[in-house]
Each structure stands twice: as structure tokens, then as C-alpha cells.
Amino acid sequence: MSVPHALWTSMVSADTAFAPDQVAIAAAGNRIEFADGSTRLCATSGLWNVPLGFGNPAITEAVNRAMRDASYLSLFRAPHRYAEAAAEALIDLADPARYSRVIFSTSGGAANDAAMKLARQYWTQRGAASRSLVVGLKGSYHGTMYGSHALSGDDLLQSAYAVDRRSVRHVSHSDDGEELEALLKREGSRVASVVVEPVLGSGAHALSDAFVSHLLALREEYGFLVVADEVATGFGRTGSMFATDGWAAAPDVLILSKALTNGAAGAAAILVGHRVASAFARGGWTFVHGETQAGTPVCAAAIAAVIDELQRIDATSTAQALAVELSYLAGRLTTDGVVAEVTGRGCFVGLGLRTPGGSLLSGGEVMRVVSSIAQNGVLVQPGPSAIELIPAYGFTAEELREVESAVRAGVAHARAEAA
């Protein structure tokens, strides 16, 4: 048996060893270079993080300048101007009519933990401590911190880790909200918040307009907070700056990460709507949450630079144009029987995979397809019985052709090996 490297890599078995063509050493533009000298086109935006391309010069310069001028400042009990400027820019981008305050965090998982705490404290301070239940969606992914691990609707060994899920409920999103309504009829007076991804990161399943309408109507009836986890969908990914921009009413809390710094720093932001923010301000309540690396000058500078770059390239129009080409690509793959179905929205596309007999692919089978596509020069994201395409917004027509060719060859090779 080969001996694994000292580095314990995420989301693979502990005995996994990696060949040189799997060890990344550099990244530029939309490509990653590996230790054997090969390069591959990254069709995942570096795990959703890098929609503006690897090594974006404007973001690199902003980070370097902040590191030189203010290498570290914290947000414990006092602000600093870098974080103030980034918060103001985020509120302006997301609409001051919808949100008024920003809490910085260090990851999507940590931000989901914080949002759960925020919702529970909101109700406790209002004299409704029994409103402690948080509702998520089946098949969702919100992270692997203690709270976000409990909230994630995928099977992620929660029982083995003794993650406490007694104050969490999960409902379907594919029934347009009927199961959610049934839950609320039973326990609505105990529900603090409902947390949803506009497009589920696992499988790229977009919430239907009917589900969103039902969710917002139920909020009016039962009063719970709506938390939108836009870690994966924010900053133009679905064709609007935020996927919830098209909702008839804003969520009470918006969670952002991944593209927030274009991958330059570990960061997340919780945008808090007026209902919650004003209650905390009027009551003089203290939100007991803090993270040492949250909102540092480097993180804040990267956020401000990302927003400038998104506006410079007119990200929504650019992403919308790319989404049209992705739709054509996915349509061709479906028509030719390479994939079974297409899910997602905008530049966040899921390609469903089936065996020749029509059954769903297992996780191991999906990973073999992903590996086969990588051997043909393109990196894609695995999903439940699917692969996902999440390209950076600057993808060219030639790069899209490269993606299509690799997916066709990779799926064909994996099928031949399985036969």
C-alpha cells in the first residue's frame, strides 16, 4: 500500500494517495497546473470560488496592499475602516432597501452557524425562547461546522459525529412547499427560521417559483425568519447578482461566501435585513459571535476589489450570456444521450448521469466519471448522480468546446470501463 502524504485531504478516504498529475502546483486564468507538468481547464471556478479567474490582477494588488499597510486588524469590540468599507459596498450591491448590516465570518459553514444563532437569539430576546427550531431542505448542503453540519440535508455521517439535530427539521423542496406547510401547522410556533439555498449545491436543483412563493406566504402567516444561503449562488452565478433578487420579498438574512473574495481569502458575510437588525439595535442586544480571522483587512480588501471587478465586467450581463452558451452545450449533451437531464440555473448547471439501463449512478461511479473527464483535460464537480459545470464568467467559446469534448469523452470512457 502506498503511504499517503502528511496532508490529510478533505472528502476522500484516509488512505488515499495522489499521483503527480493530481497534485496542483499553480493556477492562472481558468487553468490549473499539476506536478507532472500537465494543465487542466477548471470548469468549477475553483469550487465556486473564482468566477473572475485565478490570479485576477486587481484583486491580487488589493490584497497585497492591505497586507502591507494593515496586515491584521480584528473586529472584536471595535471596527476598522477596511471592514467598514467592505460592508458598505456589500449593502450597496445587495440593495439598502433589503439589508442594513453586515456580520463578517470566515466560511459558509461558520456563517450558517452564526445565522442559526442570530435567529434563535432574535426570538429569545423577544420573549419567545421556544422558537428554536431551524428548518432546512432535504438534500441541502450548508457546511460541516457543528451547526451547519446539523442543518445540511445530505447524509454526511451526522450520526457518527454525534451532531445534535434535535432542533433541526428537514423538508422537501420538490413538492412546492407542501411538506413545509404541514410541518408549520404542527410546529410553526417553535420555528425560528427556514434556511434555503436558491439552487441546492448538491445536485444543482433550483427552487421552483412555486416553492419560493409558498415559502414567503408562510413567513407572513407564521412569522419565522427566512435565511437564504447564497454561498454558491451569489455574485452573478445564476444570472442576477443574487439569486434572491427576483423574489417578491427579500429574505431576512443573506449568507455569502465563496465568490466573495474570488478565492483570495477565507471569508463569508451575513447580510442582515431591517427586521432583525433594527430589533437588535432598538433592544441594545449583543450578538455573542466572533471569529479571529473574520473581516480582516486582507479579506475586506479582497471583497471590495471583487465588487469593483464585478461591476467593471458587468457581471450579470456577462454571466447571462455565458449561461445561454452553457444551456446550448447541455442541450446537445442531452440530445445525444451523453447525460440524462439538466438541472440548475444560469452558470450553475447540473448534468444528470444514468447507467445504460437507466439507474442512478452511485457516488463511486460518479467519481469515476469525474476522473475520466479530468484525464481528458477538464475538471468538473461531482454531485449526486450528476456532474456540475460552474465555469468562471470569462470562459471563451473555445474553452466551452473543450469542456464539451472532455465530458463526451470522459462519460464514454467511464461507460466502456463499466460495461
Same domain, 305 and 333: no
What digits encode the pLDDT tens for the residues 372-407? Answer: 999 999 999 999 999 999 999 999 999 999 999 999
pLDDT score at 339: 96
- Give the CATH number of the domain where residue 388 resides: 3.90.1150.10
Cell of 102: 453586515
Residue type, 148: S
Measured CA distances, 272 to 213, 250, 267, 359 (Å)? 21, 10, 16, 43
Residue 143 is part of a domain; what is its CATH number?
A: 3.40.640.10
| Residue 371 located in a structural domain | yes
Q: Are residues 296 and 352 in the same domain?
A: no
pLDDT at 153: 92
Nearest to 378 by CA among 45, 16, 52: 45
Q: Is 306 helix (H, G, I), strand (E, B) or coil?
A: helix
Residues 161 and 136 in one domain: yes
The answer to whether residues 387 and 373 touch, using CB atoms and an 8 Å cutoff, is yes
Domain end (from 268, 292, 312): 312
Helix (H) or strand (E) holding 136: strand 133-137
Answer whether residue 15 is part of any domain: no
Phi, psi of 148 (to 5 degrees): -70, -30
Q: What SS3 class is residue 120? A: helix
Under DSSP, the state recorded for 361 is: P
Tell me: do 255 and 132 sit in the same domain: yes
Quick one: angle between helices 178-187 and 209-222, nearest 10? 10
CA 419 to chain centre: 35
**Kind and range of the H or E run holding 410:** helix 397-418
3-state class (DSSP) for residue 273: strand
CA–CA separation, 202 and 197 (whole Å):
10
Question: Roughly how many angstroms between the first and final C-alpha of the chain, as a whole number?
Answer: 28
* 325 and 308 within one domain: no
CA neighbor of 228 nearest in space, from 178, 194, 267: 194
Looking at the fold, whether 180 and 245 belong to one and the same domain comes out as yes
Q: Which parts of the chain register pLDDT below 70?
A: 1-3
**Do 198 and 301 have their domain in common?**
yes
- DSSP state letters, 48-110: TT-TT-BT-HHHHHHHHHHHHH-S----SSS--HHHHHHHHHHHHHH-TTTEEEEEEESSHHH
- For residues 306 and 322, membership in a common domain is answered with no
The alpha carbon torsion through 367, 373, 375, 381 (nearest 10 deg) reads -60
Within-domain flag for 233: yes
The answer on 254 and 145 residing in a single domain is yes
Indicate the residue among 312, 338, 367 that finishes a domain: 312
CB atoms < 10 A from the CB of 281, how many? 12
Q: Is residue 257 situated within a structural domain? A: yes
Taking only the tens place, the pLDDT of each residue in 133-188 is 999 999 999 999 989 999 999 899 999 998 999 999 999 999 999 999 999 999 99
Same domain, 329 and 294: no
Last residue of a domain, one of 294, 312, 330: 312
From CA 175, how far away is CA 180, in angstroms rounded? Answer: 9
In b/e form, how buried is each residue of 199-214, taking b as 16+ CB within 10 angstroms? bbbbbbbbbeeebbeb
pLDDT, position 264: 97
Q: What is the pLDDT of residue 128?
A: 97
Answer for the pair 390, 45: CB distance below 8 angstroms, yes or no.
yes
Same domain, 110 and 199: yes
Q: Which letter, b or e, does each residue of 45-72 get, where b requires 16 or more Cβ atoms within 10 Å of its Cβ?
A: bbebbbbbbbebeebeebbeebeeebee
296 in a structural domain:
yes
Residue 143 resides in a domain: yes
In the block, cell 476589489 appears at 305
Give just the sign of the alpha carbon dihedral 107, 110, 114, 119: positive
199 lies in the same domain as 76: yes
Residue 11 lies in a domain: no
Residue type (1 letter), 111: A
| Segments forming the whole domain that contains residue 126 | 57-312
**Residue 199 falls inside a structural domain:** yes
Q: What is the pLDDT of residue 2?
A: 59
Number of domains making up the chain: 2
